Amino acid sequence: MKTYPVKYSIEPGSFTQEQIRANDNSGGCESVGLISVMGKFGEGPLSTLVITYDGHSKQEWTGDQLFQIWTLIAKKIADDPTTSPGKAHLASEVFETVRSAILALPGEEAH
């Protein structure tokens, strides 16, 4: 797993593409989602906070955007070798079920 320090700003124009490209340890994005977790995994309840920002609309993510990301997270969980077999199977079923259902809706497409 690659780790690197995070520098962020939601102000338009705070970083140029040239500044991002000039540093091999940098990356950029146009939308961001952060899940803050309080508590210890596997040892009781967790408290979470989800923060999102769409750099194009300058708004929080919509429900449809959250749904798309949630579906993609299910796929990542299914494909991750550290996921237990039962949970990997369930996550794969969730991803495929949601994908099939979206493709069956008029005017919708899977991303």
On whether residue 43 sits in a domain, the answer given is no
Structural domain harbouring 86:
62-111
| 78 assigned to some structural domain | yes
In a domain, 55, yes or no: no
What is the CB-side half-sphere exposure of residue 6 using CA atoms within 13 A? 6
The Cα angle at residue 87 between residues 86 and 89, in degrees rounded to 5: 65
In a domain, 45, yes or no: no
Please check whether residue 20 is in contact with residue 28, taking contact to mean a CB–CB distance below 8 angstroms. Answer: yes
CA-to-CA distance for 105 and 63, rounded, in angstroms? 17
For residue range 34-80, list pLDDT tens digits in order: 888 898 888 888 898 998 988 888 899 999 999 989 999 999 999 99
Answer yes or no: is 108 within a domain.
yes
Q: Please check whether residue 2 lies inside any domain of the structure.
A: no
User: Does 1 score more than 60 pLDDT?
Assistant: no
pTM equals 0.69
- Is residue 56 included in any domain, yes or no? no
- Report the domain count for the chain: 1
